[in-house]
Amino acid sequence: MTYDTATTLLKSDNATNHEVFRGRMYIDGKWTESASEQRFERRSPAHGHVVSTFPEATAADVELAIAAADAAFRHGRWPKLKGAERARVLLAIADGIKARVEKMSLIESLETGKPLAQARGEVSGCVDLWQYAASLARTTSGDAYDTLGEDMLGIVLRQPVGVVGLITPWNFPLWILSQKLPFALAAGCTCVVKPSELTSSTTVMLMEILEEAGVPAGVVNVVTGKGPSVGQPLAEHDAIDMLSFTGSTRVGSLLGGLASKKLKKVALELGGKNPQIVFPDCDWDAMIDAVVFGVYFNAGECCNSGSRVLVHESIAERFAQAVVERARQVPVGDPLHPDCKIGAIVSEHQLSEIVGNIEKGVAAGARLRLGGKRYDAQGLYLEPTIISDVTPDMSIAREEIFGPVLAIIPFSDATQAIEIANDTAYGLSAAVWSRDIDTCLTVARGIDAGTVWVNTFLDGYPELPFGGFKSSGVGRELGKQAVEDYTETKTIQLHIGERRNWWLPRPAA
């Protein structure tokens, strides 16, 4: 079926059949309201009705949460548990998520505007993240050095870093929390979590699961509210030993700076302007499908979005026509509709920002091939957009737009493609499309990015580390290093036998 992206939006009859979720904060094992007794609400960007409400945390609430996590780490049993015992709890949490997939998926779809089918896939996928973290709780280890001489044995321990502040974004609320929290818990840390004020529900629901799984009081605490009143104190507080943040490069730079002034350990997963590089000898159908998926998945509200495609000049026009034709067929509309692939934009502010970036690109001389406008309908919807004749110096080729907007940039050879790909402040991910393995490896090695896909896009596995170069972040999530990031190394040197004296005074005459 063909959907005209300029006129037709999918609609659902079930848009308002949802009971408002009344969330609470979770501090020291207790469900609580804010000290101010103030609450804020979240409206569905697709339907306009209230989806959920939450306490508006104050500085006093944040202080209580940090104190609870600090006490649980310094005096509680969680850091001292055997790895196998922590693993059993993490596996129980994975089972709890599996049992609540439908409930968590629905509210995540309503809060974010993403298709319900996609939300189901993400919530289900979180089970695997928690299970993988459980395996690392049992296998993370230090080192021993028996090569230092017969009188010395060296031991290197990995110990939990302490209290971790976790700040998560609105675009993948449960998924990104599950890239952080289970690994911090596997290491033996305690945590204070601040979800986005736009998408707090699944984080609060997860606390119900943690409580049922037997996570001790104070080990994980959740405070809901806005960045200045919650996120900033987590970055600045002396009792927070590490800050892990996912979000925009601008906010990450600000929070990282605040944390560095206190010499905290910092992990930042930030923005991207991710290129897919297309050579003439690629698998054409697979590439076109991956390009459309890569830019329109999650309505482009994804740090890994393939928002720019570098296409060999010999096939640039053929590519533009093909990708426009494919994009016209992508179903847009109510995220609760079973056919929906592109849902609503998360907020009016975000939608205005996207449209402004499109207008800026066209004003600079780029050619609008498809879309570019919001739908004249209830809900925050934007037409899937494709822009060609883009040059590397244009803002639309360099700045993260975070919406369903594809920029097409021609190149002449692999060397120029690598230069264009690297000519941004970002370095999160990239892809290369060619049947020639030499071309693929040359480009993959030459691109400054933490992940490079070859003849595919946006695949992911818990075993493989994820993170960026340059302004895309600091540190890595997932992989066996994920737990290690939440630890500090401690060297112990054991001397055996009699120790030689440094200096002995001469005996008195």
Q: Report the C-alpha dihedral over residues 419, 399, 367, 328, rounded to 10 degrees.
A: 110
What is d(CA 264, CA 247) in angstroms, rounded to the nearest whole number? 18
Establish how many alpha carbons lie within 13 A of residue 29's alpha carbon, considering only the half-sphere containing its beta carbon: 11
The answer to whether residues 47 and 378 touch, using CB atoms and an 8 Å cutoff, is yes
Please give the structure tokens belonging to residue 111: 């809060």
Exposed / middle / buried, residue 256 (Cβ in 10 Å: 0-12, 13-18, 19+): buried
What is d(CA 111, CA 393) in angstroms, rounded to the nearest whole number? 36
The answer to whether residues 324 and 370 touch, using CB atoms and an 8 Å cutoff, is yes
Query: DSSP label at 231?
Result: I
* Closest CA relative to residue 319, chosen from 225, 433, 241: 433
What is d(CA 196, CA 165) in angstroms, rounded to the nearest whole number? 14
What is d(CA 106, CA 51) in angstroms, rounded to the nearest whole number? 10
Residues near 165 by beta carbon (within 8 Å), at least 6 away in sequence: 191, 192, 194, 234, 235, 237, 240, 242, 243, 244
Mark whether 269 is an active-site residue.
yes
- Catalytic-role residue among 56, 108, 111, 269: 269
Please give the structure tokens belonging to residue 334: 């109510």
Q: What would the DSSP string read from start to end of 49-60?
A: SEEEEEE---HH
Beta strands 25-27; 30-32: pairing state: antiparallel
Residues assigned a catalytic role: 269
